[in-house]
A and B are shown apart, each in its own frame.
Chain A
């Protein structure tokens, strides 16, 4: 193929104020302006969002799923990080 390809962008949408932006998919665009316009046409045809973020896909650094256990498993044994680990007498009421 002789044509140079358009870069890939990831799209994040805030469905309403008070909510975080959420990843919805990706698209191709030559620059950020076009990525925003394409994201609006592709992902918000029925009032799905009030705000859109577009991020070049290659700017995202992701954790490696193979390292999932090493990264996240240690927290499973730290039950003292949860409120239910601590004993409070019933008479004291809700705390």
Chain B
């Protein structure tokens, strides 16, 4: 998921203050929100900074595979929609950085962690967008999977994070629908267009399922994060919800999922799916995905080449402020 950070083991020191910890937990159990200046366990703070910033980094890096197609969108309508969507992703990153900063970590520090590779972003953005159909898949599957995770996070215990998620969820629904419409249009087009849509689904389906993170049996720290209401459903539960929602949408437009074990279980009412190749997931997380190096290089290039703009804007503001002071003194 965008918050795969939760599956990373927290190695930092955990100062325990049993009395305060219990009072803190009681507040969360009463469904009270935690606000920036409230006391919180160090580990809660650290986990949130890691989760929210990874989420923000995912939004920012997620602009790259889609930005790749802005100049080649097939019509003005598609181009305008894609531009708006990519701008939204940038906005989502900013809401989230703003929420993370309320925990006392500066924007520059967070940005630095992304650029040096110290912080992670979602594994999904290390896959390439090879054809226009991939842009449809990113909206339909990637944003669809993100929504599954983000809707419960609207009720997460940390106030600024919950408020950012509410704004994001409102906007995300447009993303998924525009993606599905792209896929549907191709699936109903000529044989080549339909083949393009099917090929894109074949490549994106499994990585989309991996977005939810490792199976519950291997997921670290789930209990603590559930108790803190930072995480509200398990990886496997969310993955199943996504499969159940998505498979009928694909079948409706005549696409086949690349999983020979996929079948509907009448008794449970769920779609059963085949084994996920977790070795691929681990490779991508470890930096060996198809585009890891390219994504990080692009972010670093943009940051470095923008340095003079940041400096010039600051120098200009300082000059103007100084002039105002002079005029006021006269």
- What is the interface of chain A, defined by CB distance below 8 A to chain B? 1, 3-6, 8, 25-28, 30-31, 34, 41-43, 45-46, 62, 64-66
Chain B residue numbers with a CB within 8 Å of A4 are 311, 314
Q: Please state if A1 and B321 are interface contacts (CB–CB under 8 Å).
A: no
Residues B107 and A28 in contact, CB atoms below 8 Å apart? yes
State whether A65 touches B107 (Cβ < 8 A): no
B98 within 8 A of A: yes
Within 157-182 of B, Cβ neighbours of A (below 8 Å) are at 160, 163-164, 171
Closest chain A CB from B32 CB (angstroms): 12
Q: How far is the CA of A27 from the CA of B96 in the complex (A)?
A: 11
Please, which residues of chain A bring their CB within 8 A of the CB of B163?
Answer: 25
Taking CB atoms and an 8 Å cut-off, the chain B residues in 52-72 that contact chain A are: none
**Which chain B residues numbered 303 to 324 have a C-beta less than 8 Å away from chain A?**
307, 310-311, 313-314, 316-317, 320-321
Are A31 and B320 in contact (CB-based, < 8 A)? yes
Given the complex, which residues of A lie within 8 Å of B112, measured CB to CB?
A: 1
Q: Chain B nearest CB: distance from A91 CB in Å? A: 42
User: Scoring B residues 23 to 36 as 1 if CB is less than 8 Å from chain A, else 0, what string do you get?
Assistant: 00000000000010
Interface residues in chain B, defined as those with a beta carbon under 8 Å from any beta carbon in chain A: 35, 37-39, 84, 87-88, 91, 94-95, 98-99, 101-102, 106-108, 112, 160, 163-164, 171, 307, 310-311, 313-314, 316-317, 320-321
Once A8-B101, A45-B87 are accepted as A-B contacts, the answer to whether A65 and B35 lie under 8 Å apart by CB is yes
User: Closest B-chain residue to A26, C-beta based?
Assistant: B98
Partner of B88, one of A8, A25, A45: A45
Output the nearest chain A residue to B174 by Cβ-Cβ distance. A46
The B interface is mostly helix, strand or loop, or mixed, namely helix
Q: Is there contact, CB below 8 Å, between A6 and B314?
A: yes
Pick the contact of B39: A5, A6, A65 (CB < 8 A).
A65
Query: In the assembly, what is the distance between CA of A27 and CA of B102, in Å?
Result: 11
Distance between Cα atoms of A61 and B79 in the complex (Å): 45
Chain B residues lying within 8 Å of A46, measured Cβ to Cβ, are 171
Residues of B within 8 A of A25 (CB): 94-95, 98-99, 160, 163-164
* Assembled-state Cα–Cα distance A28/B316 (Å): 15
A45 and B98 in contact (CB under 8 A), knowing A3-B311, A6-B314, A66-B39? no
Closest B residue, CB atoms, query A1: B108
Given A4-B314, A8-B101, A27-B94, 10 additional A-B pairs, CB 8 A = A3-B311, A6-B313, A25-B164, A26-B101, A30-B316, A31-B317, A34-B313, A41-B91, A64-B37, A65-B38
A64 to B36, CA, bound (A): 11
Are B91 and A42 interface neighbours, CB within 8 A?
yes
21 contacts between A and B (CB under 8 A): A3-B108, A5-B107, A6-B310, A6-B314, A8-B107, A25-B95, A25-B98, A26-B98, A26-B101, A27-B94, A27-B98, A30-B316, A30-B317, A34-B317, A41-B91, A42-B94, A43-B91, A45-B171, A62-B37, A64-B37, A65-B37
